[in-house]
Structure formats: C-alpha cells, structure tokens
Structure 1
C-alpha cells in the first residue's frame, strides 16, 4: 500500500520556517516526509541513511540534527538511532480507532522507552486519548531493549571485515600491519559504527596511498590510527589536488 506524508500549505508561512536557511528548510521537510517516518513521529533513522538520501555529508547531518535539537523540534537517540519529531503529535493527530491502533503498534516497536514516555506525556498535554494498557513501559521492557541493542552491536562487530581492510592497506601501501591489534580494531570499529563500510575504507586507503606512498616524510602516516582516525571522513571526501610545499597540511 502506498504511503504518504502531507505537509500543510501554511508550512511555508510559519514564523519558525520563515527564519530557517534553505538548507534547514530542506532538512526539516526531509525529517517529516522521508520513507522511515511513522504515524507517532518516532522512527529509526541511521545517519548513514540521512547522508545517502539528502546528499549531505556526516558533518552537515550532525550539525543539522544538533541545530534542530536546540530549536526544540527533534530529539535524536544515538544508541538506537531513533529520532522523535517533538511536535508531530500536536499537528498530525487523527482521532480514529484505526490510527490509534496503528500508533500503539508503532510505540511497541520503539526501542528507546524515553521517547514512548514523552509521547504519552504529550498526548495527555494536548488532551488526546490513547489507551496505554497494552504498551509495556516498565523496567522489563527497558532491559529487553538494552539487550537487543547490545546484541545488534555485537553482531555488527562480527561482521566488520577487519582482515580485509588491513590486508588491502598492507597490499596498497607495502606495510605489515596486523588486523588483530586492539588499537587497529578500535579505529576501524569506530568508523564502522558511524556507518562507513568496506568501500569507504578502500577509497581512503587508495587516496592517501597515492598521495603519501612516495613521500619519504608522509609515508610513515599510512597507518591505521591515522587513516581511520577522526579525519577519516575528510580523507574520504578529499578531492585530488596538486601536491603543496607543506606535506603536513592534510594531516592536521
């Protein structure tokens, strides 16, 4: 069945929206109309998906999320990758048994119970009636969610291709790093948890190997802690450019 999200024509005359930048308006519309949205206004939306669908890089996505949290429009829960549009209930409530039944089912699948509690609080605040008897809001459900999140994280770690990444680095850069080293695995895992995947690692390795391998000063930095550190996304999006007089300008 087709799924639609409606935006009221007065959206463009809203005082808050009028003060937004074009970039913010686009992102705000995206949060209200993307394919992951739900009837309750709480849904899972990994940042990697936001990047792919909006065309923004991770830095811009993080900046916009933080900005809209400061505006009091959304809340983002990093561990479960769930977002809540805080005023969704106020402007999108439909008082029908079919819709309230759908909302209850959605709430039962929300992992972060803090969002469920907040949703119910807002329903009471706006005078909306919703039966919460069938929704588990207790400690048992909280423990279950935490266990599910932890299991997901453990499963993700099992699927990280540590060996393939390091083998590719060694082959490209002529190194002999081990994929079993804790420091190396920590760097790779950190980037993997941010949503980067094997092709991204290979691209960074290719980019920096081409740039640094024949440079006697920079070749020493073709190592996991440098390539897969905090500047990883910058390296990934780096444009090929002529070598400068200062070989360290891309390192720090």
Structure 2
C-alpha cells in the first residue's frame, strides 16, 4: 500500500484526508511520472507525478498531480545552495472549493439592468470590461470603461468636427471638403449633453471618470475595485437610459 505523503481534499468527506495510490489487479500503481529529462529544451528542472488515488476514509477516487521544480524550496540555513528544503505542490481533482471571501463577494459586479438593444460594439466592450473587473484586472477594467464612453459617442456619430482655420472658417481639402479632426473626449461628452443623451449630472460624472482614466493611463495609477464598481454602475445606468428606455412600452392592450 503506497500512501500519499500529504493529506489531500476528498470531495465526499469534504475535508483533507489520507489517500493511497490505486493499483491494478497486477499490483502496478496507476501512476504516470514525468521530468525535465524527457524534454531537450526544458529550461527548468522539474518532476511531476500523475496518480489515481483513493480516500482511506470513504473509498472515493480522485486524480492527483504532485509537482516540484528547482525553484520550489525553503531556505533552512545561511547557505543559499546547500541549505534548501524542497517541497511538492499537490493538486487534486475534483478540486477543493475555494472559501468565499465576504469582501470579494461585496465587490462583485451585479447586473442591475437587462440590455436588449445595445449596439454590438458597446456590448462587446462592456462584457470584456466586466470580465476584467471580475478577474481583478483593474487597469484593463478602467481602460474598458473609458472605451465604453468612446463607443457611445462613436455609435451616435460624435467623433469628429471640422478643422477651423485662424480666420474662423473651416479648413477645406483639395476637393473642397471640410478637413475633419478627432474630438477630445471631454468635447464628445459635452456633445452627448447637447444632444440630450445625458443630463448635467451624468455629464459631470462621465468627466470625473474621464479624469481618473487619464490618471490611470498617464501616471500608471491603479484604481481600486470599489471605485471601478461604482463607475460600472454609472455607465450601465447611462447605457440603459440611452438604449433601453426609449424602447420600453407600457401601453395596455385595448379591449376588443
């Protein structure tokens, strides 16, 4: 009987228990070993074992991966090369459920609106931005929020304006057409307000988000998850007002 040297999680017992490596009818362990010796281009020395294991308490079966490489050690003395205590990483499948952190649960983004009329461009950016927040990629999430604002403007034809000359008139190209230049984001937000797509309060909030986004990009300042959660809620509220409210209809059916 070959006993696993460390207690591992059992899905039936719902705790860490002692396990044995399963053998077949011929007494051979159901185990596969591998190491860097099998790979000519391997840069790191490693050893790995894959085993079918059985709980000694309830007899249920699991799959175990036992892994070690040359960088997995704890120093036990002053000599960096000689005073090393190597350790193994045990990964069992099915895996042990992760304990939910109450704070992390509180900071999870929760859908407050149902969207059926978002343009594909906005919907795609929104989904990726929410996914970035879920995986704590705060810099990418903040950039995504800024991109959603840009996409709202683009979908409403708010992205360019005629270039103005020193005399105040429009600059024309060789074909006598106005030369167009890109609007800055604060100009786009102002135009959203002029077209009554957002109100004064929403304009102020979007400009605050824009300012914080500039800090993130130019000063590499990492925003907090709680702040990003608020921005996502604000953006969703604005998206709902622009794209869903105009499509709502609460008319009662006429009696025949």
Provide TM-score, normalisation by structure 1: 0.21
TM-score (norm 2): 0.21
Structure richer in helix, relative to its length: 1
Return the structure number with greater strand share: 2
